[in-house]
Structure 1
Amino acid sequence: MVNTFSFACSACGKCCNSPPAMTLPELFRHRDLFIGCLAIGRVPRRRAGERLRAGQHESVLDETDAAAFASLADTLLHGAGDTFSIVTQGYDYPSLARCPALEDDGRCGIHLKGKPVTCEVVPLDPLVPDTLQHLVLAGRNQSALYLGTDCIQEGPRADATLLVAEGRIEDANAQHALARRRHALEQEKAMWGRAVFESLRNDLFESPAALARIPSGGFLTISIVPALLAVAGASVRCREWCLDYIDSQLALIDRRVAQALLRRRLDDRPVTQELRGFASAFQRARTLLVAPKQSRNEDLVFASSVEAYLSSACN
């Protein structure tokens, strides 16, 4: 079977049906538009001899494939027996079925104002080796058809960009977007991911009862506060940026909840409860961050790295 796919995005907005994964700086930049949270998922370790199938496409993983998956996992993910992804994510009411940045005409309102890198990667998956991206596209082709669009097509097309051909990413823009997203995930892991993983290890990652809360093929969403506390401790400037973010998020949550109460939908109630929980976590974090701190010796190298990481969104 020919493992070749083309892609033609018409910017119809049909796939923009929920808030995207976003880096922490991206969430800071769009603090008045996206409510931030942490999304935690379980990622299976792939082994040689395993069969991966998407539609009519199937691959039996060899040692090289397994090593490529392992390399991505070691660089971008977190391990404690199982392997986990921890990413910052936009959050909103699923009943709205739209990204908060989606305009009424179906266009992205932030396309030229700091569009998240993960949106540029669509329809590829940064956690899958380049040689197996055809399986990602084969699976997402079915989803695209379900949404009523034919943006992903098998084989070369005159009216579309050749994206993947026989184990290669053919489009230079797609190659660049994948590299940027993987770099961003690696940076997130270094700036706050490891600290968050360790802070949650006992209560979540090493607790079978808590792990049961992570849905199969989905994510557990929790407050973004652990990530904020990890970067706020780097320096006084980082702490001030985090306080500004918290104030914006509290105001945004108030607006979103007020709008939901006007909609009077029963299925919005669990999300309203979760958002109020986020607000409580923000309030507690704010109390911690505004309290006078004892003088301490800052890790100047780490502080400089975190400030550079956040500065593009905060200046």
Structure 2
Amino acid sequence: MVNAFSFACSACGKCCNSPPAMTLAELFRHRDLFIGYIAIGRMPRKRTGERLRVGPYESVLDAADVAAFDTLADTLLYRVGDTFSITAQGYDYPSVARCPALEDDGRCAIHLHGKPLTCEVVPLDPLVPDTLQHLVLAARNQSAAYLGADCIHEGERDGAALLVRQGRVVDANAKDALERRRKALAKEREVWGQAVFEALRKELFDSPAALARIPAGGFRTISIVPALLTIVAASARCRQLCVDYIDSQIALIDRCIAHALLRRRLDDRPITHELRGFGDAYRRAKAVLAVPLAAATGSAAGSTPCAVEAYLSGAICL
């Protein structure tokens, strides 16, 4: 079977049915639009001989496939038995079923104003080796989010870009987006991810009972405050950036809850409860940050204060 897929985006918005994964810097840039949180995902380690099947497409993992997964895990993910992702994410009520950045006409309001990098990667997956991206596309093609979009096609199609062919990502723009997203995930791990992983190790990653509550392929959501408390130590400027972010997030959470109360949907209640928890965590963090910090020493990963400031603000540190 020819494992080739083409892609032609019509900007219909069908795949923009929830907030995207984002870097912390992207969340800071769009602090008045996206509520941020940390998603902890569980990803079972791949084994030689394991079969991955999507419809008529099947791959039996060989040593090279497993090594490719391990390389991505070593640079982008976190290992404790299974492999875990720790990523920043936008949050909203699932009942809304749309990204907060979508306009009424279904177009992206921030397409030319700092659209999250993960949106450029769509419909590929940066956590899957390039040799298996055809399975990602086959699965997307069958998912509800893409039904009727007519944007992913098996084989070559006039007017569509050929993305993958015979185990290779062949489109230059797609390859570039994958590389930049992977670099961004590595930077997230350096700036705050590894420190948060270590902070959560005892209560979560070293606790079989706690880990049992994260199913294979599933996620656990927590406040983004642990990431903020990691980076505030870098400098007084980072502290102020975090305080400004917290203020914007509290106001955004209050607005989102107010809109939900007007909708009067029972299925919104658990989300409202979680959002109130995020708001409480922000307020506690702000109280902590009201206490003067000791002299800056850089992030837990050793990044210089200037580098962390530049990362969060989108500036270039000379």
Q: Normalised by the size of structure 1, how large is the TM-score? A: 0.96
- Kept after mapping to 1: 8 A contact 2:23/2:89: yes
Query: How many pairs are equivalent?
Result: 315
Q: Quick one: distance in 1 between partners of 2:203 and 2:20?
A: 27
Superposed counterparts of 1:92-171, under 5 Å:
92-143=92-143, 147-171=147-171
**In the alignment, is the contact (CA less than 8 A) between 1:32 and 1:249 conserved in 2?**
yes
DSSP-derived class of the 2:314 partner: helix
Residues of 1 paired with 2:133 and 2:211: CA distance?
A: 29
Q: Which residue of 1 aligns with 2:24?
A: 24
In percent, how many aligned pairs have the same letter? 71
Q: Distance in 1 between matches of 2:66 and 2:297?
A: 43
> Paired residue for 2:306?
304
Find the aligned partners of 1:62 and 1:229 in 2 and give their Cα distance: 41
Is the contact made by 2:297 and 2:305 (CA closer than 8 Å) also made in structure 1? Answer: no
Kept after mapping to 2: 8 A contact 1:101/1:109: yes
Measured in 2, the distance between the counterparts of 1:28 and 1:314 equals: 16
Alignment deviations for residues 228-287 of structure 1 (CA, whole Å, 9 cap, x no partner): 111111111100000000000000000000111111111100000000000000001101
* More moved, 218-227 vs 177-186: 218-227
Contact 1:46/1:66 (CA < 8 Å) preserved in 2? yes
Q: Which moved more, 1:248-257 or 1:40-49?
A: 40-49
- Structure 1, unpaired ranges of 5+: none
Residue by residue over 1:126-151, the C-alpha shift from the partner in whole angstroms, topping out at 9 and shown as x without a partner, is 01111111111111110168632211
Partner of 2:62: 62
Match of 1:85 in 2: 85
Q: How does 1:1-315 map to 2 (within 5 A)?
A: 1-143=1-143, 147-295=147-295, 301-312=303-314
Q: How far apart are the structure 2 equivalents of 1:21 and 1:145? A: 16
SS at match of 1:163: strand
Task: Give the aligned residue type for 1:308.
Answer: A
Instruction: Tell me the amino acid that sits aligned with residue 159 of structure 1.
Output: G
RMSD: 1.7
Compute the displacement of 1:206 (Å): 1.3
Query: Unpaired runs of 5+ in structure 2?
Result: none
Report how far residue 311 of structure 1 moved.
2.1
- Deviation of 1:62 (Å): 1.1
Cα distance in structure 2, aligned partners of 1:64 and 1:163: 21
Name the CA shift for 1:223/1:166 in 2 (closer, same or farther; >3 Å).
same
Contact 1:233/1:239, CA 8 A, preserved across alignment: yes
Q: Compute the displacement of 1:212 (Å).
A: 2.4
Supply the distance in 1 between the matched residues of 2:226 and 2:257 (Cα, whole angstroms): 23
